[in-house]
Amino acid sequence: VQLVESGGGVIQPGGSLRLSCAASGFSVSRNYITWVRQAPGKGLEWVSVIYGGGDTYYADSVKGRFTVSRDNSKNTLYLQMNSLRAEDTATYHCARDLIIGQSRTGAFDIWGQGTMVTVSS
Amino acid sequence: DIVMTQSPDSLAVSLGERATINCKSSQSVLYSSNNKNLLAWYQQKPGQPPKLLIYWASIRQSGVPDRFGGSGSGTDFTLTISSLQAEDVAVYYCQQFYTTPIFGQGTKVEIK
């Protein structure tokens, strides 16, 4: 059971980037998958979530600029990031919500290693 | 928005001694529908993603050593490492899920 992110890099302000999160050992379509980012030397910030049913939610800081999507056939999620700003510089992790029975615990039990995004001119 | 405040920001503890980290939420994270506190604790070592230690405030995640314990309810929570080991050096985060997930600022634990 694992998540592997890819797609990070150096991008100029205002640019776009698409991150991928490939899952193995479980189905992304039956789980809640969250994106969390961590700026260099800083704490953790929730970015977005996609529900098993496809609903998506975003932090105010990225709403209107970031879009989460999913390809069930590839068991992969995507984070499309547009209009990137310097403050979006961070390592982006995808993580799986821990479900106990039918209940979301609100905790994240499986994390990817992350992919680094640097927004700089 | 809920604010999560951890204390202290850092602490140094001797090997084998107890380490205690506090986490205070600006509002209750007790979910009345299931009577669960929607509070988790994570450990993060340099260059690694966070690792889930505790969920629902006091339930140890599978595989986590029993020297890690979580307690508290409502707005005040504690992570205790009963006997600090060298491998426990890390930054620890609390996180609430009553609203959109919010993390505390982190507490760095070192060896004295």
Q: Of A93, A106, A114, which has the smallest distance from its Cβ to B101's Cβ?
A: A106
In A39-102, which ranges are E strands?
Answer: 44-50, 56-58, 66-71, 76-81, 90-100
> Using CA atoms, how far apart are residues A96 and A34, in angstroms rounded to an integer?
6
* Residues in Cβ contact with B80 at an 8 Å cutoff, skipping those fewer than 6 apart: B18, B19, B20, B21, B68, B69, B70, B71
Region A72-98: what's the mean pLDDT?
98
Residue A106 with chain B: CB contacts under 8 Å: 38-40, 55, 95-98, 101
Which helix H or strand E contains B23, and what residues bound it?
Answer: strand B19-25
Written as one letter, the residue type at A89 is T
Which of A16, A18, A34, A27 lies closest to A93 in space, CA to CA?
A34
Residue B38 with chain A: CB contacts under 8 Å: 105-106
Judged by DSSP in three states, A19 sits in strand
Q: What digits encode the pLDDT tens for the residues A65-82?
A: 999 999 999 999 999 999
Q: What digits encode the pLDDT tens for the residues A21-37?
A: 999 999 999 999 999 99
Mean pLDDT, chain B, integer:
97
How many CB atoms within 10 Å of residue A27? Answer: 10
Residue B70 touches chain A, beta carbons under 8 Å: no
* Residues in Cβ contact with A30 at an 8 Å cutoff, skipping those fewer than 6 apart: A52
